[in-house]
Structure formats: structure tokens, C-alpha cells
Chains A and B, each alone.
Chain A
Amino acid sequence: GNSVTQMEGPVTLSEEAFLTINCTYTATGYPSLFWYVQYPGEGLQLLLKATKADDKGSNKGFEATYRKETTSFHLEKGSVQVSDSAVYFCALRERSNDYKLSFGAGTTVTVRA
């Protein structure tokens, strides 16, 4: 079956630090990959996505590259801000009959001023 493994948190950083959250996946086919962000008490918002190998998704200074050879989709940001404090979820969507979304466990990121 499909699964997503994220680096465990929590992660605490100082403002302007570099952020990396590792994400690897297991899938039977060629899934689409997503990063979602969740702010306290809210639903999930799409941060970025990539739909095929070597695609790079980017948004709000965040980037992630779809690496088929390593089955990875690591999230990076070069200089974090306090407003980036949130929970980040890696997810995949399989190209199969049901197109279900599978999520990682989430990584809590706290950025301190």
C-alpha cells in the first residue's frame, strides 16, 4: 500500500534559519506529491505540489523536488520567519481507481524571533 514517512518533530528554529523537512514515500505507481500546511485550529492549506518526477514545486519561499530515484519530496526554505510556525504535512495521491490522499504524520515547526 501507499505510505508517507516524514521526519519527526518538533523542529525549533531561529528566524532566518534554513529549514528542511524530510519526506519519503512508498507507492505502487507514480503518485502526485503535495506539501500542506496547518496553522493552529485550522484546516490544511496546500503549500506546493509536484505531479511528475523531477518537477519542483515552490510557493512562499518553500521548495520541494520530486525525486523518483530516492522516492523523496523534501521541503526546504532558505530563511524562515516567525509566521512559518505551523504543522507541515507531506502527502501523496496515487494514480489509481480511487485517487486517495495518503498523509504523513506531520512535522511541527516553531520559529523563534
Chain B
Amino acid sequence: DGGITQSPKYLFRKEGQNVTLSCEQNLNHDAMYWYRQDPGQGLRLIYYSQIVNDFQKGDIAEGYSVSREKKESFPLTVTSAQKNPTAFYLCASSMDTANTEAFFGQGTRLTVV
């Protein structure tokens, strides 16, 4: 089955630790995205990538980092510099055209204690 997979579904980390969220897709999509969702709020774009080895900051990139070494993979690292990292993180991918929709993973709920 083609799709986009995020892991793990739930993640707990201590304050001050970096943590990496995994996102893999087998849809042969060029573009991949990371969004953050807070309770009762919409989706805010963290980073996006339109092609391997290239990515751009979204609206709330501070305290996050990404890499795009393979077309299939777009991991997100939440660093200790992120002031309020507890949130629901969503990864998405799409063809790089305006007419096509994005496909979303099931999300990772990160809790920092």
C-alpha cells in the first residue's frame, strides 16, 4: 500500500533533549511538509522541501531542523531551542503541482516533560 508513515505515534522526552520524528513516504512525491498543530488551533508550517537536498523554512521554523537526503524521507528534529515543543506534529507529501492534494501521515504526539 502506498502512503505516508510517521513514527512513533506517541513520544515522550525530557526537557532539554533533542528528539527526531520520522516521516517516510512511498508515493514518489517530490514535496514534503512538516506542520505543527496545537489544541484548538490550525496547522502551522514548520519546514517544507520540494526536492532532495533542498528545504525551506516555514512560518515557525525556529527551534526545529530537517534534512532531505532521500526522496522518501523527511525527518524533523525538535531541538532544545524550541521553547514549547509539546504538540501534535503532522507530516505531509504531495506532487509538486498546484492542482494536487497533500497526503498526511497519522501524526506524532510529542510530550516534553
A94–B102 Cα distance when bound, in Å, is: 13
Task: Pick from B31, B92, B98: contact of A94, CB below 8 A.
Answer: B98
Q: List residues of chain A with CB within 8 A of the CB of B99.
A: 32, 51, 93
Question: How many residues of chain A are within 8 Å of chain B by beta carbon?
Answer: 26
Question: How many residues of chain B are within 8 Å of chain A by beta carbon?
Answer: 28
Task: Indicate if the CB atoms of A45 and B104 lie closer than 8 Å.
Answer: yes
Q: Known interface pairs A89-B43, A101-B33, A103-B42. Does A95 touch B98 (Cβ–Cβ under 8 Å)?
A: yes
Interface residues of A in 1-36 (CB under 8 A from B): 31-32, 34, 36
Q: Known interface pairs A43-B107, A98-B50, A101-B33. Does A49 touch B101 (Cβ–Cβ under 8 Å)?
A: yes
A44–B107 Cα distance when bound, in Å, is: 9
Q: List residues of chain B with CB within 8 A of the CB of A46.
A: 101-103
Chain A residues near B (Cβ < 8 Å): 31-32, 34, 36, 41-46, 49, 51, 89, 93-96, 98-101, 103-106, 108
Chain B residues near A (Cβ < 8 Å): 6, 31, 33, 35, 40-43, 45, 48, 50, 56, 58, 90, 92, 94, 96-99, 101-107, 109
